[in-house]
Structure 1
Amino acid sequence: MIVREALLLPSFAEAKVIAGAGGLDNELSSAMVLEAADIENWGKSGQLIITSFFALQELSESEVAQFFHTMSAIGIAAMAFKPERLLLNAPQNVIALCEDFGVPLIELSPSVKYESIMLDVLGHVLDSNLTLLNRFYDAHKHTMALALKQPSIPYILNTLKNTLRMDVSYLDTTRDRRLGTDPTRTCFDAYSLIRREPKPFQTHAYFDAMLFFNRAAAKEADDNRPADEDRAEKALAVRIPSSDGVDYYLLVHESDVELTPLDTMTIENIVGLLQMKILEQNAIKQKLFIQNNNAVHDLLLERYGTPERINSALTVLGIDEFPFYEVLFVHVSLVDCADIDRLDELQQAIRRRIRSAYPGIVYFVNNDRLVFLHNFRSPLTRFNLDLIQDILDKLHASSTLPPFKHLVALSSTVDRYAIGQANTEVLNVYRLFNGSTSSDRAIRFEDLGVYKLMLMADDLSQLAEYMDPRVVDLAKKQPELLSTLICLCENGMDFSKTGEQLFIHPKTVRYRVERARKVYGIDVKNPDDFLQVVLTNKIMALGRES
């Protein structure tokens, strides 16, 4: 209740307001007798302070002023003064301070007892809370009945609109999915959120939202505004909790209307119902993800065995329309190991960007690897490695994602019964170039050239005789020196870039190159020795990956 309503209670029958009448609409929720001036330790917003000013008599004028300043900051609703033997009239400085801070000062009847005032105020509050609890129970009961109907999100929104008599919208920020009772109000181009201080009955996060509509949105709305007029609209936003790391919001568009406690409880119930719908959708998506992930994995590893089972799997995945297939392999490594808990966030961003460019693809996820399977009509619609590289470069530049490195491998074109072969091709590229100091690369299997001869070996031990004995000796005795030579070769003999990657001075790189030449007879400035270092490194890489 408000202070004005409290004056109608029996114990206030002979009371009169002697100051601070501008605060009669302050919300009043409890009552307390003033026994000490340390109000910051026990005062609460909405309290009625009952006093004879005994606790303030020893304070100086400045201390009394500070007391009222603290009282106003806390949000004390009003002050009730009972004339007694100590003071028959309220002090003038107190009257002036009540006027200044807008705190109603009520002079009570000298015969009224403190107990009567406390019982009247608290009894009324308890009765009000009981009424509110009953209304909340009814609202909750209706919401649960609605949940049993398995309603869609638009149906839930329309139900809320009919209750609040306000337009509402649903926003999925990651997928930019908008649903609303008024479609024109979902066409905002951008938005900003400022968090509100929590109020009673609010368990979720509430925000003051500003929705910005550009010219195109204004024109599309067809709401008699000039087509060249940008506009902004206020709304109330309530965050809907979820388990998938995505921000969902319920928007109430008439934010200038003061919500009643029952309105707030209705919104809380609807947010809970929307949360159930989101969890349900996420459970379905997770189940489909696992099924599709396993199906793609089995195709890549040739586990289906017969053409009929392969055809059936491709049909289930929805990638059986065209004659050609290819595999795109994306390996990511986080620069900072402390960001490991954000790996899934990074992979989701990569999947969204690549699937937005190639909507018909399916994928397999395993730890730090993403493998995309693409069904396409002709060479013109193949994966474009330049586009893939551009997508990843933009993700590197994103300030919202953890720093990472990538290696991309693209298979040759195969038919539906050779998908396993395409998978082997990209894995071979990964085996050759994983750990390379030249990171953030995109490589086609078709461009491997002479490296394909290595991959044709049935037994990797056969390749050992093709390794330069000098390089093998260097790897055994001074692996750090060999790593410097490999890094220099991969960087096209760029001493400065090599020093930067190895965190050493370019002169140190030159010293190591010269030492390798003098001690081991390996001169990477010589084209033949350059090739021996590169080929021996690739053969060793194949052995490590195996």
Structure 2
Amino acid sequence: MIVREILLLPSFEGASIIAGKTGMDNEITGAMVLEAIDIENWGKRGQLIISSFYALEHLSESETVMFFRTMSSIGIGALVFKPERLMVEAPERIIELCDDFDLPLIKLAPQVKYESILLDVLGHILDSNLTLLNRFFDVHKHLMALALKQPSIPYILSPLKNALHAEVTYFDTVRDRRTGTEQTLTEFTGYSFNRREPEAYQTHAYFDAKLFYDKGFGASHQPQTVQALAVRIPSSDGVDYYLIIHNADRELTPLDTMTVENIVSLLQMEILKQNAIKQKLFYQNNNTVHDLLLDRFGSHERIDSALALLGIDRYPLYEALLVRTRVVDPIDADRIDELLQALRRSLRASYPGIVYFVNGDRIVFLHNVRNENSGFSLDTVRNVLSDLHNSSILPLFTHLAVISSATDRYSLPAINNEVMNAYRLFDETQGDFEVRYDDLGLYKLLLGVDDPSQLDTYIDPRLSALHQDALDLFQTVVSLCANGMSYPKTAEQLYLHPKTVRYRVERVRKIYGVDVRNPDDYLQVVLADKIYTLRKDS
């Protein structure tokens, strides 16, 4: 019920609007007699406040202004002035404030009782709410019957279109999937959403939407921007789903809102069901890939069966790609899954048939290829990771990517060992790095040793003593070699002054006889660092 409808009630016979006429369409949801000025404690949006203004009599001018400002911020629907013997006319200041805040001020006939006003207003509201409740029950019953049929998303959208007399679209923002009752309206090329203030019966998030089309509709072929209403569909997978209501140039009625709320809940149930199926399939495939990489199937027949189940048994060769990600800011540690999901989506766009195994901050992809020339491309992997780094919605991260050699289906553990050994060889201090296992050269000799403890004999004795006696000096010469002999860069990495770096390097030369300017000593430092890295992870 709105203010202008209030005037049609019996108790408002002879009433007149004396201020705030611009607010005649304000909604009225209840009524209250003003007895105290602490309206912030009891006032509610849409209330009709009835008063003879005695409660405001002792307020100063600034306090009166503050009272009206508080009413406006709450969303009070209207004021009703009941003339009394001590106050026959509303004060001019009150009238001015009602005009300033677009708050309708209704003057009643003097003989009207407070009880009559409350009974009329609240009775009408109760009757309206009962009618609305009955209609909502009918809608809810119909949609719950629909839910029992386990409908598809297009099937769910159809009754909403009929109820609202408007075209509707289901929108998955991450995968850019659109399903709608009118195909042309789903073909927008861009969009922007602006959050609305919640209204009655709205439990989900509503947005004023702008949809951008490269070409218009009908005879027009010019770019076009169309207004719509979007409602976010809650989900458990971190993806933003929306229900878009086109032709939304009219406000939703309470019954429309309740219908939308029910449909959104129904769509949420469908999304949760689909996510549960995807999650089950994810764990099944994740475990299967893991078992293949660790040679847990035991026989060729079981390996063949597992590869067929994964849908990667068409070609003779297989490659592995390991990607390790580390978030830069520890506060983003809980966003690793989000990052890996984005990585999976991007790589599968380039290599649709790949499967994967996820473990913590790393993921191993398994690719079935016709020949070695059709496998993972280092440039493609690098470009995918570069796009993720440039994404404004993902956390900052560093990465390591290693591509294995190619092998047959019964030697998958071998390529898993290749990428895992390289993973151990390059720690997080390496920064962003992409490499093929076949390009590791001399490092492959280190990785081929079965017992990492045997690698100790390959470390220059001078560097063994340096590592044991002065780890900080050892780390300084390692960083200097890793940074291409750049003293400023090394100092920045170690939070030291460049002179301090030079001093430490000179001490290493004098005390341990290691001069990193000598190519042989430079190589010994690099190899020793890699061996200690492998020993640390063994």
Q: Give the TM-score category using the shorter length.
A: over 0.9
* Alignment counterpart, residue 218 of structure 2, candidates 215, 223, 226: 223
Q: Does 2:530 correspond to 1:545?
A: no
Moved more, 74-83 or 337-346: 74-83
Distance 1:199 1:506 in 2: 62
Q: 1:479 and 1:152, CA in 2 relative to 1: closer, same or farther beyond 3 A?
A: same
Distance 1:537 1:252 in 2: 61
Q: 1:69 and 1:498, CA in 2 relative to 1: closer, same or farther beyond 3 A?
A: closer
Q: 1:521 and 1:97, CA in 2 relative to 1: closer, same or farther beyond 3 A?
A: closer
Name the counterpart of 2:473.
481
Q: Aligned to 2:88, what secondary structure does the other structure show?
A: coil
Q: 1:14 and 1:335, CA in 2 relative to 1: closer, same or farther beyond 3 A?
A: closer
Distance 1:387 1:256 in 2: 46
1:477 CA displacement: 0.4
1:398 CA displacement: 2.8
1:18 CA displacement: 4.7
Q: Deviations over 1:335-375 (max 9, x none)?
A: 23332111111111221221111111111000111101011
* Alignment counterpart, residue 405 of structure 1, candidates 398, 405, 416: 398
Q: Is the 8 A contact 1:196 1:206 kept in 2?
A: yes
Q: Does 2:267 correspond to 1:264?
A: no
Q: Does 2:508 correspond to 1:513?
A: no
Q: Aligned to 2:466, what secondary structure does the other structure show?
A: helix
- One-letter amino acid matched to 2:170: Y
Q: 1:391 and 1:7, CA in 2 relative to 1: closer, same or farther beyond 3 A?
A: same
Q: Does 2:523 correspond to 1:531?
A: yes
Q: Is the 8 A contact 1:438 1:491 kept in 2?
A: no
Aligned residue pairs total 538
Name the counterpart of 2:437.
445
Distance 1:178 1:403 in 2: 29
Q: 1:456 and 1:56, CA in 2 relative to 1: closer, same or farther beyond 3 A?
A: closer
1:237 CA displacement: 0.8
1:129 CA displacement: 1.4
Q: Aligned to 2:457, what secondary structure does the other structure show?
A: helix
Match runs of 1:116-131 below 5 Å: 116-131=116-131
Q: Aligned to 2:394, what secondary structure does the other structure show?
A: coil
1:16 CA displacement: 4.1
Distance 2:20 2:456 in 1: 95
Distance 2:503 2:441 in 1: 33
Q: Aligned to 2:136, what secondary structure does the other structure show?
A: helix
Name the counterpart of 2:107.
107
Q: Aligned to 1:201, what secondary structure does the other structure show?
A: coil
* Alignment counterpart, residue 493 of structure 2, candidates 485, 495, 501: 501
Match runs of 1:159-174 below 5 Å: 159-174=159-174
Moved more, 365-374 or 17-26: 17-26
1:283 CA displacement: 0.3
1:53 CA displacement: 3.2
Distance 2:497 2:441 in 1: 34
What TM-score do you get using the length of structure 2 for normalisation? 0.94
Name the counterpart of 1:53.
53
Match runs of 1:343-354 below 5 Å: 343-354=336-347
Q: Deviations over 1:408-465 (max 9, x none)?
A: 1111111111111111111121222235x33211122212222222333343343332
When the two chains are superposed, the root-mean-square deviation of aligned CA atoms in Å is 2.2
1:266 CA displacement: 0.4
- One-letter amino acid matched to 1:525: R
Q: 1:383 and 1:52, CA in 2 relative to 1: closer, same or farther beyond 3 A?
A: same
* Alignment counterpart, residue 380 of structure 1, candidates 373, 384, 400: 373
Distance 2:60 2:478 in 1: 82
1:392 CA displacement: 1.5
Name the counterpart of 1:287.
280
**Structure 2 regions of 5+ residues with no counterpart?**
none
Q: 1:74 and 1:439, CA in 2 relative to 1: closer, same or farther beyond 3 A?
A: closer
Identical positions, percent = 63
Name the counterpart of 1:187.
187
Distance 2:66 2:298 in 1: 84
Q: 1:61 and 1:449, CA in 2 relative to 1: closer, same or farther beyond 3 A?
A: closer
Name the counterpart of 2:154.
154
- One-letter amino acid matched to 1:236: L
- One-letter amino acid matched to 1:81: F
Q: Is the 8 A contact 2:166 2:248 kept in 1?
A: no
Q: Is the 8 A contact 1:45 1:76 kept in 2?
A: yes
* Alignment counterpart, residue 522 of structure 1, candidates 493, 514, 518: 514
Q: 1:318 and 1:107, CA in 2 relative to 1: closer, same or farther beyond 3 A?
A: same
Distance 1:108 1:86 in 2: 15
* Alignment counterpart, residue 233 of structure 1, candidates 203, 226, 237: 226
Distance 2:98 2:527 in 1: 88
1:19 CA displacement: 4.8
Match runs of 1:388-399 below 5 Å: 388-399=381-392
Distance 2:468 2:297 in 1: 44
Moved more, 296-305 or 115-124: 115-124
- One-letter amino acid matched to 1:378: N
Q: 1:410 and 1:6, CA in 2 relative to 1: closer, same or farther beyond 3 A?
A: same
Distance 2:18 2:504 in 1: 92
- One-letter amino acid matched to 2:509: R
Moved more, 501-510 or 58-67: 58-67
Moved more, 348-357 or 495-504: 495-504
Q: Aligned to 1:525, what secondary structure does the other structure show?
A: coil
- One-letter amino acid matched to 2:218: D
Q: Aligned to 1:35, what secondary structure does the other structure show?
A: coil
Name the counterpart of 1:310.
303
Q: 1:354 and 1:23, CA in 2 relative to 1: closer, same or farther beyond 3 A?
A: closer
Q: 1:472 and 1:57, CA in 2 relative to 1: closer, same or farther beyond 3 A?
A: closer
Q: Is the 8 A contact 1:54 1:86 kept in 2?
A: no
Name the counterpart of 2:87.
87
- One-letter amino acid matched to 1:135: R
Match runs of 1:25-36 below 5 Å: 25-36=25-36
Distance 2:278 2:442 in 1: 44
Distance 1:28 1:458 in 2: 80
1:113 CA displacement: 1.5
- One-letter amino acid matched to 2:191: Y
- One-letter amino acid matched to 1:223: G
Q: Is the 8 A contact 1:132 1:262 kept in 2?
A: yes
1:503 CA displacement: 2.0
Q: Aligned to 1:44, what secondary structure does the other structure show?
A: coil
Name the counterpart of 1:468.
460
1:485 CA displacement: 1.5
